[in-house]
Amino acid sequence: MGCAKVAGLCTVPPMIGPVNATCIRTQFLGLAPTKTKVNLNMRKCNTVYCSFNSSSNGTGSMAENFNEKDEDYVNSSVVEAVEVKSGAEGFMIKMRDGRQLRCIHNNPDGGILPDYAPHPAIVLKMEDDTGLLLPIIVLEMPSVLLMAAIRNVQIVRPTLYQVVKEMVDKMGYRVRVVRVTKRVRESYFAQLYLSKAFTNFELFLFLTLNVGNEAECMSFDLRPSDAINIAVRCQVPIQVNKYLAYSDGMRVIESGQLLTQTPGSDGPLFTELDRPSGKPCTETKEFDLLHNMLKAVVEERYQDAASWRDKLNQLRAGKNTNNRFWCKKNKPVASIPGSRGLVFVGETLQFMAAINSSKGVYEFVRVRRLRYGNCFKTKLFGETHVFISRTESAKVILNNEGGKFSKKYIKSIAELVGSDSLLCAAQQHHKLIRCRLFNLFSTASLASFVKLFDAMVLEAMSSWSCGSIVVIQDETLKLACKAMCKMLISIESGYELMVMQNEVASICDAMLSFPLRLPGTRFYKGLKARKKIMDILEKEISERRSGVGTRRVDFLQRLLENENKLTEDEVPKLTDTEIKDNILTMMIAGQDTVANAMTWIVKFVDENQEVLNELMKEQVQIDQKGTRSAYLTLEALNEMPYASKVVKEALRMASVVQWFPRVALLDCEIEGFKIKKGWNINIDARSIHLDPIVHNDADVFNPSRFSDESKPYSFLAFGMGARTCLGKNMAKAMLLVFLHRLITTYKWKVIDSDSSIQKWALFTKLKSGCPVRLTSMKMDTNKNT
């Protein structure tokens, strides 16, 4: 079936529709030959025709009631049209060269067409004296594949139409003719006719002596888009029922010379568009973008296709790629593509399904980005969310130009980390908290922490036995939790440390859950875990204020000692709630994100031997400068340029934090799209990190890419702007210390390379945990010597 626009309605079919045929399963993949019957419709015939019993209604408007004979059909050719639309200017057909053909109904009883948006179409021209055009609405894919076949453009991989043609040939049949037979309501129908192929000798006997069997003939019901594509590839006639052509056909009232199908190769014309009068025009540019987008889809270059689609949307919105992202008020603004799903629910169910899959929550974003482009909207948890994946947009939003954006997480995350957390605090509140916490991450504090963490790493690795299997993710979670508890609240061991690790893990597992406070739900368990941690912190604060116990040196103590002091900017002290919320936030960031990053580094380095060799050279040299008992220093970390690039590349590839949420404080416009006040804006960091336009060979692990200066806002592992991760230098230090000790102490081999993502994980976490088999570097060196 195709789609007719007689009622202004378009329902687009799949690529290949149901076919009435007998399917034969061969011994492929070891299966025994069997026959499966699928509504077979075969018959013997001398001539190719079929008959319908009902009669015409006199107007021909249905064009399905007739005795189907050869004289009832007219030959047609494919016109190189891009799309059709109906509006104030009438029915318009846009040609490949940018010209617009204004048409009217051939049938005086056809009425006035309602307005509808542009749609891809296949347009057939009747090869008789009438010159009528029959437009058939189709998907973009059949349209571009048809144009590619007409233009003899080579496609990288075989299309389904090419496969059908080869199958027909190998079965000893030939396609004889394709006929557009009827229209039922808004859907066109077509028949494809096959017959057994004669050998030269059989053909001689049949034509001269009338000896031999009749040609075995069968017909298939196909959608016109599929049948016409096959006909062009098989170079057979395309015929249209006369009654249908005269009833639904369009007459051109304003046109130039039409471009019709030619048998010869015309590849250059398909890749370089004809320009009227030899000059560029807006229509030409639009078609160039459309062509590039569709060609990228055909060649399965989906990242490129998304980029071309965004440029096309910008052009259609009256903007080009060099314009500023904030539009003038009187300039036309396009609506953001996407779907808001069901009433009230939106696409929340699809979002939750992605969270509960092995591909992870980002699969929800990835699928829609490929469908709608680099900017799309959806509705989650009752609110509109917009995802944007361009570096230019990231710069505008993360820098909060014009004060139009603030930070906002979904309800489940906001309630679990607390409203006074750095993650959720509004602009002025965020500045106050950040100012109070900033001194805790000074160079002196970082230098002290590096030695502390190095000692913990050495202690942890000393318990790993050679030849054993170690699950890296489990070990790094314990290591990171212990380090953060020691640094923040001086908890190093015992029951409280175990509680902190387990409860932080429960909170992380509940961050993407549906925010229902019902016992037994994941969100409810997360709230209970938060309460336990808050109780521990409340107890610590009370004991320290009352002077109970020994004096400790940690972040919490420094916050309490400074609570009665004002900074130079007279910033007031933090409340107990602000202290507790932000210690919990730092626990989550330090434990979950850092541990996951360590795991991904181990996996990526194991998969890239050249990187491992280069990394080994650098780390062994640093190790040889001091004694094995000496702890790493901040200066030593600064002498690890290649290791720093490895860390950065692993963070780019893994994108542990996959997007950065913001909320629009005012109505504004970005990328040519209207953003309403209150909408959630998410910077898609993962898409930017893996964008082949931003990063060459984006899917290849190549630390050396960071030897050159990166494009602005192309690396967003720690965010950018005023809300850049406060502890990013500490996180980098932890990753470098861990990588150095692992490289210089062990050789390892990942024994489960599965890249599936753990369910319900907000931060990208390997489902396997990255188990490795360890070999001591000393033992390996002794063997070599």
Residues 86, 208, single domain; the answer is: yes
SS3 421: coil
275 has a pLDDT exceeding 70: no
pLDDT level of residue 271 (50, 70, 90 thresholds): very low
Q: CATH number of the domain at 45, please.
A: 3.10.690.10
Overall average pLDDT of the 488-505 stretch: 90
Annotated binding-site residue numbers: 725
Which tops the pLDDT comparison, 583 or 62? Answer: 583
Whether 512 maps to a domain, the answer reads: no
Residues 641, 673, single domain; the answer is: no
Residues 252, 281, single domain; the answer is: no
Residues 674, 619, single domain; the answer is: no
pLDDT level of residue 565 (50, 70, 90 thresholds): low
* 245, 96 contact by CB (below 8 A): no
Q: Which residue, of 261, 296, 324, is where some domain finishes?
A: 261
What Cα–Cα distance (Å) separates residue 524 from each residue in 33, 288, 350, 413, 503? 55, 53, 22, 12, 12
Residues 452, 567, single domain; the answer is: yes
For the beta sheet containing 659-664, the strands, ordered from the edge strand earlier in sequence to the opposite edge, are 375-380, 383-388, 680-684, 659-664, 405-407
In percent, the amount of the chain with pLDDT more than 90 equals 41
pLDDT level of residue 94 (50, 70, 90 thresholds): confident
* 102, 91 contact by CB (below 8 A): yes
Residues 528, 476, single domain; the answer is: yes
pLDDT level of residue 660 (50, 70, 90 thresholds): very high
Q: How many domains does the chain have?
A: 3
Q: Give which of 457, 489, 487, 538 is closest to 741, Cα–Cα.
A: 457
pLDDT level of residue 504 (50, 70, 90 thresholds): very high
Q: Which of 33-47, 642-656, 701-715 has the highest mean pLDDT?
A: 642-656
pLDDT score of 306: 72
pLDDT level of residue 198 (50, 70, 90 thresholds): low
pLDDT score of 26: 29
pLDDT level of residue 623 (50, 70, 90 thresholds): confident
Q: Which of 12-21, 60-69, 446-455 has the highest mean pLDDT?
A: 446-455
Show the domain range for 111: 2-261
pLDDT level of residue 282 (50, 70, 90 thresholds): low
pLDDT score of 494: 82
pLDDT score of 385: 96
pLDDT level of residue 566 (50, 70, 90 thresholds): low
Reported as a single tens digit per residue, the pLDDT across 237-267 is 999 998 888 888 888 888 654 444 433 333 3
Residues, the chain, total? 785
Reported as a single tens digit per residue, the pLDDT across 392-449 is 999 999 988 668 899 999 999 999 999 999 988 888 888 888 888 887 888 899 999 9
Residues 632, 667, single domain; the answer is: no
What's the rounded Cα separation, in Å, for the pair 574 and 212?
Answer: 99
Which tops the pLDDT comparison, 141 or 768? Answer: 768
Overall average pLDDT of the 122-136 stretch: 89
Q: 166-171: long-range contacts at Cβ-Cβ below 8 A with a sequence spacing of 24 or more?
A: 168/194, 168/234
Q: CATH number of the domain at 285, please.
A: 3.30.43.20
Q: CATH number of the domain at 732, please.
A: 1.10.630.10
pLDDT score of 281: 56
pLDDT score of 749: 94
8 has a pLDDT exceeding 60: no
319 has a pLDDT exceeding 60: no
Annotated binding-site residue numbers for heme: 725
Reported as a single tens digit per residue, the pLDDT across 355-397 is 988 888 899 999 998 888 889 999 999 999 999 999 999 999 9
Which tops the pLDDT comparison, 530 or 302? Answer: 530
The pair phi, psi for residue 576, each rounded to 5°, is -60, -40
pLDDT score of 23: 32
Which tops the pLDDT comparison, 17 or 510? Answer: 510
Which tops the pLDDT comparison, 563 or 472? Answer: 472
Q: Give which of 557, 593, 361 is closest to 477, Cα–Cα.
A: 593
Where is average pLDDT lowest: 115-129, 565-579, 688-702, 735-749? 565-579
Residues 247, 291, single domain; the answer is: no
pLDDT score of 278: 43
DSSP assignment of 69-107 equals -GGGEEEEEEE-EEEEEEETTEEEEEETTS-EEEEEESS
Q: Which residue, of 642, 673, 689, is where some domain finishes?
A: 689
pLDDT level of residue 53 (50, 70, 90 thresholds): very low
210 has a pLDDT exceeding 80: no
pLDDT level of residue 778 (50, 70, 90 thresholds): low
Whether 513 maps to a domain, the answer reads: no
Overall average pLDDT of the 691-711 stretch: 90
* 652, 713 contact by CB (below 8 A): no
564 has a pLDDT exceeding 90: no
Return the beta strands (E) in 700-765 as ranges.
Answer: 746-750
Q: Which tokens in the block code for residue 386? A: 């917009």
Residues 476, 392, single domain; the answer is: no
5 has a pLDDT exceeding 70: no
* 655, 661 contact by CB (below 8 A): no
Q: What is the mean pLDDT of the chain?
A: 79
Whether 405 maps to a domain, the answer reads: yes
pLDDT level of residue 330 (50, 70, 90 thresholds): very low
40 has a pLDDT exceeding 70: no
pLDDT score of 663: 94
Whether 707 maps to a domain, the answer reads: no
Residues 297, 149, single domain; the answer is: no
pLDDT score of 344: 80
pLDDT score of 126: 92
Reported as a single tens digit per residue, the pLDDT across 456-483 is 999 999 999 888 899 999 999 999 999 9
Whether 432 maps to a domain, the answer reads: no
Residues 31, 147, single domain; the answer is: yes
What's the rounded Cα separation, in Å, for the pair 470 and 362?
Answer: 28
pLDDT score of 335: 82
pLDDT level of residue 770 (50, 70, 90 thresholds): very high
Overall average pLDDT of the 724-749 stretch: 94
Whether 633 maps to a domain, the answer reads: yes
What's the rounded Cα separation, in Å, for the pair 185 and 516?
Answer: 47
pLDDT score of 97: 76
Q: Which residue, of 222, 239, 261, is where some domain finishes?
A: 261
178 has a pLDDT exceeding 90: yes
pLDDT level of residue 332 (50, 70, 90 thresholds): low
Q: List all residues 6 or more positions away from 618 whose beta carbon is below 8 Å from its beta carbon.
A: 640, 641, 642, 643
Residues 165, 276, single domain; the answer is: no
In percent, the amount of the chain with pLDDT more than 70 equals 78
631 has a pLDDT exceeding 50: yes
Whether 99 maps to a domain, the answer reads: yes
Whether 551 maps to a domain, the answer reads: yes
